[in-house]
Amino acid sequence: MRESNYYETMLLHYGEDKKDYEGAVVPPIYQNSLFTFEDWDSIDKAFDDPVNNCIYTRGKNPTVSIVEEKLSKLAGGEKAKLFTSGMAAISSAIMHFVKPNGHIITLKNIYGPANNFMGSYLKEKMNIEITYISGKDINEFRENIKENTCLIYLESPSSVVFSLQDINEISKLAKEHNIKTIIDNTWATPIYQKPLKMGIDLEVHSCSKYIGGHSDIVAGVVIGSKKDIKDIFEKEHALYGGKIAPFEAWLIMRSLRTLPIRLAKHQENALQVAKFLESHPKVKKVYYPGIKSFEQYELGKKQMDGYTGLMAIDLDCKDLDKIKGFVNRLEYFYIGVSWGGFESLVYAPAISYLKEMTPDKFDAMGISLGSIRLSIGLENYNDLICDLEKALSIL
Ligand SMILES: *Cc1c(COP(=O)(O)O)cnc(C)c1O
């Protein structure tokens, strides 16, 4: 098989060999729990290298391996391991690096469940200390490093307010201090951002977003060096057992074939929608790294090769009934959590925040009643803009 470095070509063919499955144009789903052997010596030999031999589907499975090869090649890593969800990938990657009584530096606006894992669960179980920073200035990282700092955990852009971290600078600093680094790269995907090439140790993704792209799977992946992934395979993956189902891996293989063209369309649509929203009098602010008015636009341009379709806006309105009316009025934007699928979605962080606190409390965290998250799907952008324009007219 010829090896192309163009994503479109590579994602179609890399890691697949038609000879191995009767020429089937789509590799089969190996839906089996175990693999059988001719004789004593062959199973004995397989156990010499259980990571690379098919023995039992909690270990290597051929369908899963094809997808892992594509993802690690795409990210510029050496190896990848798929997991049953993004959170399984994230908690396994963190457990791989964290030490009892250790210290983690992370961001104030980190993805909620990842924060709960580090800041509550690990804090209690392993006496982990955690420091939250904005992540916008390298000096914040430098000033908060302690003797027991074992991990810097990043998410750039973060999925709430889309703030960025300077990945090159942070990985350089971490290496000087022997601190491990993990980044949640779900927003940018391995196509638009290459953290491993910038020196980050492990890259994690929720494959439930753009990598899956069809809103029909929940899955995750960790990508990194041969050594780290082998260790994670043998420890966190094997022992917690968060293995992906072969069918779900197969669906990701299907999704990866169209990832580059889907992203190009998400990007085009999102840029058009962001520009429309930016110029609308009822929209106070647009949080989207692809527009020039975005606070960290220059850093984004330096370290990303493109932008995907998730953004947030602040409506110029404090009346909860009107804000509800705006959300309910939208026709093409379905109301729901998650993002990165073919369909456009709308969600208001206030829905969950209001259950726990008053608006003035979450205002202080940079989220207001009028904060609205939009996942821009693959519809024609004219329809999306029209839909938003109608809904905004009721404010
Ligand atoms: C959804 C999401 C996750 C978690 O992924 P799951 O597949 O839902 O477990 C992690 N990080 C980010 C940024 C996400 O949006």
Q: What share of the chain is helix, strand, coil (3-state, %, to 5)?
A: 45, 15, 40
The predicted pLDDT at position 3 comes to 77
Helix (H) or strand (E) holding 283: strand 283-287
Amino acid at 323: I
Ligand 1 centroid to residue 116 C-alpha, Å: 13
Q: Which residue minimizes the CA distance to atom 7 of ligand 1?
A: 86
Can you tell me which residue has the tokens 């520009």? 275
- pLDDT tier for residue 2 given thresholds of 50, 70 and 90: low
| Ligand 1 mutation target, pool 110, 209, 373, most atoms within 8 A of CB | 209
| pTM score | 0.96
- pLDDT tier for residue 1 given thresholds of 50, 70 and 90: low
Average pLDDT in the 356-378 region?
87
What would the pLDDT profile of 349-365 be if each residue is shown by its tens digit? 999 888 888 888 877 77
Q: Which domains does the chain have, with CATH numbers?
A: 7-255 (3.40.640.10), 258-393 (3.90.1150.10)
Can you tell me which residue has the tokens 């020196």? 199
| Ligand 1 mutation target, pool 107, 208, 251, most atoms within 8 A of CB | 208
What would the pLDDT profile of 135-172 be if each residue is shown by its tens digit? 999 999 999 999 999 999 999 999 778 999 999 999 99
The predicted pLDDT at position 62 comes to 97
The predicted pLDDT at position 75 comes to 98
Ligand 1 centroid to residue 81 C-alpha, Å: 16
Average pLDDT in the 295-321 region?
97
The predicted pLDDT at position 384 comes to 98
The predicted pLDDT at position 353 comes to 84
